[in-house]
Chain A
Amino acid sequence: MSQKRSYRPLDSTRDLKRTITRYYTLTRFHRYWGRPLGRPLAWVTSGAPVELLRAFKIHPVYPEQYGAICSTGKVTAELCQAAEALGYSQDLCTYATSSIGSLTRTDIAPMKGLPRPDLLVACNNICGTVLKWYEALARHFRVPLLVLDTPYLPGEITPQAREYVVEQFKDMTSSLEKITGRRFNEGELRRVMGLSDEVTTLWREIREYCRAKPSPLNGTDLFIHMAPIVVLRGTQQGVDYYRKLKREVGQRVREGKAALENEKIRLVWDNIAIWPKLFGFFKMFTERGACFVTDTYTGGWAMEIRDGDPLESLAATYTEVFLNRSPDFRARQLIQFIRDYSADGFVMHSNRSCKPYSLVQEVIRRKVMRETGVPGLVVEADMADPRAYAEEPIRNRVQAYLEALGA
């Protein structure tokens, strides 16, 4: 084990901090500017059609990202206990339960909790849990709850699913007109979608740089630098930030600079990060020269926003999210990643909190191994709750896996 730092920090991290701090400062002080400017604050799920909300000048806030913030801030377990005390099972999604805990435990919650929402917007393209979670929030805050129901796609999107989602978009548009008192402006929506497309395209290009050998970024970089893609889609700040990041990563590739000092093994990550142990966990890999060159999670935000009628385009984009699709689709995606990024293996985080992501991993793992001949490791943990993390058993597995890969 080397004492030396085996990991190269990005200069853009400074800009990242500035960008995210600005977003959360605006969020925290929304009560001073939101009402005067007629800009309501919405709590939204990560897969909610934020472009439409932004077109109505709504300020979106992401409780899922807040869940990750709580986790890296080491308060998830206590927040979850507060929710468990209210009767919520400890087997439920810990983003959701820590968020519910943060409503009462403002004493320990980061930023004393997220500011009170004027409305809630949930889209079930990522899971069924968000509906139950947002129902609980709607009961607590007594504010309108708008739900976009994107039917699960066993195969390709069907005409009826597309039509159903488009109809809901129209309904949502008129609800938003009522809530915000603003008229729907298609031009504004197109402008926001243009910015969103620019952000996601930049993110896709940055990620594709990691096809280079050695890779300019490691999994932890992707996890950390994904923050703006979650909260700043459809904004100029998002575009500005990812332009900078793209320049730096492109520069690294041109100079042959690697994220890891000594990249020996290239891996693909599947599932949300293990936030409570982010660095500790990935260090087990970096210290043996194993780099996570890409992943399915942060890749979920590299979606393409199609041309054409804006509502139809949004309907397709948000219904075709990878978590709303079959294991077959997900396996093909992972196989493509392994091939495009010349990976030697893949690691699946079996995430107790996220059933739609995790329950299908074993059939995916087998299929991917069969088709690529590349080995896959499964580690069970939780994206936010340190109570589900078993240090020694995980260390053993990781070590054995890397030894088998020749690290």
Chain B
Amino acid sequence: MGKYFLGVDIGSLTTKVVLLNEAGEIAARATGRSGYGGRDVARRLTAGLLDEKGLAGSDVAVTVATGYGRITYPADREMSEITCQARGIAHLFPGARTVIDIGGQDSKVIRLLPGGKVADFAMNDKCAAGTGRFLEVMAGALEVPLEEIGDLSLQAGNQCDISSFCTVFAESEVISHVSAGAPKADILAGVCNSVAARVASMSSRTGLEPEIVFTGGVARNSGVAASLAKQLGCGLKIPEDPVITAALGAALFARGLA
């Protein structure tokens, strides 16, 4: 019987796997681009982790899958990423009462009960505004690497206004700003601000209670983080690795199932 617990989070853009040991500590973790077949990516990442630790598949006692690809992944159980995210964050930040998660295609605000149970949540409409995908499209339009837009946006002098709620319209707004000669930093500040505004507005549907933890791939974007903190009027905690927290939650659930 294995002594390890695996959490697999197959997201729209990135796949993450977290392996816990018997004590519930992170033994290994890995991330990769989901691409066309997130399931295969998850298998490959898992195989790599086990290899690295000198473990065999049979050493994994329980696997819990989450994220978009969870349904078809051969796990012992699949759970929604909202429940897993809540669990992962509560583990890292026992005092957390609100989680703001901005991922590739989704953004979510989750209100937590002590212990990490979900009290309420809100998610974005079926539209890319307010998600990582929005940032990716705008980064593409401005020819700036996605990882750099946050820091660059913080150098803005005069933030441009991006008002459209439609990604396609917003892209045309960005192009208008470009043709009007606005500096990239100013446009990017507008872009980051627009994502933050969208999520800030969503957060009032669930209510905000400190501590607030900001997680998901976009939490690495310093521009969005700064704008979000400003709009919410309070500080945000960001996990050291904000990408893997839902996978961590899934692994914790796996350990609980054993």
A residues apposed to B, CB below 8 Å? 77, 81-82, 84-87, 89-90, 386-393
A–B Cβ pairs within 8 angstroms, 21 of them: A77-B163, A82-B201, A84-B201, A85-B204, A85-B205, A86-B204, A87-B205, A90-B165, A386-B163, A387-B163, A387-B166, A388-B164, A388-B165, A388-B169, A389-B164, A390-B164, A390-B169, A390-B173, A391-B176, A392-B172, A392-B175
Chain A residues contacting B201 (CB-CB under 8 Å) are 81-82, 84-85
- Are A392 and B176 neighbours in the complex by a CB distance under 8 Å? yes
Interface of A is mostly: helix
Mask: chain B, 194-210; 1 = CB below 8 Å from A; 0 = not = 00010001101100000
Interface of B is mostly: helix
Chain B residues contacting A386 (CB-CB under 8 Å) are 163
Q: Which partner residue on chain B sits nearest A87 by CB separation?
A: B205
Chain B residues contacting A77 (CB-CB under 8 Å) are 163
Known: A387-B163, A387-B165. A86 touches B205 (CB 8 A): yes
Q: Give the shortest distance, in Å, between B201 (CB) and chain A (any CB).
A: 5
Q: Besides A85-B202, A86-B204, A389-B169, 19 other CB < 8 A contacts?
A: A77-B163, A81-B197, A85-B201, A85-B204, A86-B205, A90-B165, A386-B163, A387-B166, A387-B169, A388-B165, A388-B166, A390-B164, A390-B166, A390-B172, A390-B173, A391-B172, A391-B173, A392-B172, A392-B175
Interface size on B, residues (CB 8 A): 16
- Interface membership of B143, Cβ < 8 A: no
Mask: chain B, 158-188; 1 = CB below 8 Å from A; 0 = not = 0000011110110011011000000000000
* Residue picked from B163, B175, B176, B202, most chain A C-beta under 10 Å: B163
- Interface membership of B52, Cβ < 8 A: no
- Interface membership of B240, Cβ < 8 A: no
Query: CA–CA, A389 to B175, complex, Å?
Result: 14
Q: Give the shortest distance, in Å, between B141 (CB) and chain A (any CB).
A: 13
Query: CA–CA, A392 to B125, complex, Å?
Result: 25
Query: CA–CA, A185 to B29, complex, Å?
Result: 81
Query: CA–CA, A46 to B172, complex, Å?
Result: 35
- Are A90 and B125 neighbours in the complex by a CB distance under 8 Å? yes
Q: Give the shortest distance, in Å, between B230 (CB) and chain A (any CB).
A: 15
